[in-house]
Structure 1
Amino acid sequence: MAVLVVIPARFASTRYPGKPLVELQGATGVRKTLIERSWAAAKEVRGVDRVVVATDDSRIKDASEAFGAEVVMTSSACRNGTERCAETLDALGGGYDIVVNLQGDAPLTPAWFIEDLVAALSDHPVAEVATPVLRCTGATLNGLLQDRREGRVGGTTAVFGADHNALYFSKEVIPFTAKTYAAEEETPVFHHVGVYAYRPSALAAYPRWDSGPLEQLEGLEQLRFLERGAHMLCVEVEAKGRQFWELNNPEDVPKIEQMLSEMGAP
């Protein structure tokens, strides 16, 4: 199957303006922008035919082309990364069986997360969209809860049925559990990893749908699919010892830099 990876990136982030161009220091002391580290993560994925950065900002375009990325300029009217991916696929003339949305704030995304996602969508012909979920350890869950207590969104959680069809996603920590978990203990909470694999038909339909109340309340683009009854598959992935975190707030920078250092990322 022909696979396209799109890295949507915009400068005018509400929570962190200019986020794609924030520099992150790796294990060797070298500083690279967030968009470059996200692009490097995409290039490590096996079975991908093409990787492009999609943006509406010339600063991101120039920075991306400087490190060798292919860039597709998209409209500033795109309301989220999924709409930007849809516009990108249209600009490229289609020709792909699966389109992956690797959001530009997730440079720690392991290659096998995306490989597992593409494989799952290939194996489930009824599924229109697939997205990875990672079971939280006690330490990760406590970090999410601490962020919420301090008024920050540290991540998104997901709940799904026995068939792994998505039921809901939230910036609150769901499902509720009153139990206290040890740092390495498995919990019933799943951290949603902000990566999506779409069939072209689902991606083409998405921008034509109005944003529903749940998407507007949570600010989560994937809820538009659920509100329209689309079949979204949650694919449980394994960390395999790798730490994972998204850059959502300025406070996340030192956390991600520490993770880059611990994994030996240059």
Structure 2
Amino acid sequence: MSVLIAIPARYASTRYPGKPLVMLRGPDGEKTLIQRSWEAAQSAAGIDRVVVATDDSRIADHATAFGAEVVMTSVSCQNGTERCAEVARKLPGYEIVVNLQGDAPLTPAWFVEDLVKGLRASPDADIATPVLRCDGRALSGLLADRRAGRVGGTTAVFGAGGRALYFSKEVIPFTGKTFDEDEPTPVFHHVGVYAYRPAGLRAYPTWPAGPLETLEGLEQLRFLEQGRQVLCVEVSARGRQFWELNNPSDVPVIEQMMATMGSVS
């Protein structure tokens, strides 16, 4: 089963303009966010092709310079899924299309591998996405960000068989308990990776954005609002730390994680 990874990268981010070209210092020196995300994608096994999908010439030129294949997409794409849908139209024939968002350079290879395996085993799902059980340390970080008015990550709740119920930038489900740093919690961090079946991906841009997607700013909610099945695949951190680059304050956090555990490349 052929698999394509597309890495959506947009320069004109409302929250963090120019984010894909932000430099991150790791044990291997300074590299941009988009290069580190591309290297993370390259490390996954069983992937046939990796492309950077962008509408910006600055990102395209930089990605080409470090060796990435680039697919230029429309400025009208509203989110990464719409951008991936355009890539899938331009590069047909893949049986699974993976969206590895360009703000998650710490994504371990096995997250992508487990996600593809999960979608293959669930023929009723249009889309699959990984979730990572938070320990007390990660949950404290999410809660601290929300208290400060920042979005530190997205959380997911799901039912039997991993079928997604909801995703939110709030920390859900509510828990009033205090957890030790290494203690497992009932909160799952949604990891910014998606695997789509082509039919669902092709249909996505034809659906209007619903009220939940609009309120939360979470593209995957469009599938739920259309009654489509979204599969949550629980992945294991295997001792690795995971964090997304959502705000400028996340840069030193990610750099410290890279210094502690080594670069993803």
User: Would you call these one fold, judging by a TM-score over 0.5?
Assistant: yes
TM-score, structure 2 as length reference: 0.99
Aligned residue number for residue 212 of structure 1: 210
Number of residue pairs aligned between Structure 1 and Structure 2: 264
* Rounded Cα–Cα distance in structure 1 between residues aligned with 2:69 and 2:87: 12
Aligned residue number for residue 39 of structure 1: 38
Give the Å deviation of 1:176: 0.2
**SS state at 1:258 partner:** helix
* Rounded Cα–Cα distance in structure 1 between residues aligned with 2:161 and 2:48: 30
Give the Å deviation of 1:19: 0.1
Aligned residue number for residue 252 of structure 2: 254
Gaps of 5+ in 2: none
Return the match for 1:150 from 148, 151, 155.
Answer: 148
Give the Å deviation of 1:263: 1.5
- 1:198 aligns to 2:173 (yes or no): no
Give the Å deviation of 1:127: 1.1
Deviations 1:122-164 (A, max 9, x none): 1111111000000000010010000000000000000000221
* Rounded Cα–Cα distance in structure 2 between residues aligned with 1:209 and 1:37: 32
Runs of 4+ in 1 over 6 A off after TM superposition: none
**SS state at 1:25 partner:** strand
* Rounded Cα–Cα distance in structure 2 between residues aligned with 1:125 and 1:153: 33
* Rounded Cα–Cα distance in structure 2 between residues aligned with 1:129 and 1:172: 22
Deviations 1:159-201 (A, max 9, x none): 0002210000000000000111000000000000010000000
| Preserved CA contact (<8 Å) 1:27 1:262 | no
Give the Å deviation of 1:55: 0.1
Aligned residue number for residue 264 of structure 1: 262
Deviations 1:12-43 (A, max 9, x none): 01110000000000114x10000000000000
> One-letter code of the match for 2:185?
T
User: Following superposition of structure 1 onto structure 2, how do residues 157-236 of structure 1 map, counting pairs within 5 Å?
Assistant: 157-236=155-234
| Preserved CA contact (<8 Å) 1:98 1:198 | yes
* Rounded Cα–Cα distance in structure 2 between residues aligned with 1:231 and 1:124: 10
Gaps of 5+ in 1: none
- 1:61 aligns to 2:60 (yes or no): yes
| Preserved CA contact (<8 Å) 1:135 1:191 | yes
| Preserved CA contact (<8 Å) 1:121 1:127 | yes
> One-letter code of the match for 1:144?
L
* Rounded Cα–Cα distance in structure 1 between residues aligned with 2:252 and 2:176: 30
Q: Aligned-pair RMSD on alpha carbons?
A: 0.6
**SS state at 1:145 partner:** helix
**SS state at 1:53 partner:** strand
Identity %: 72
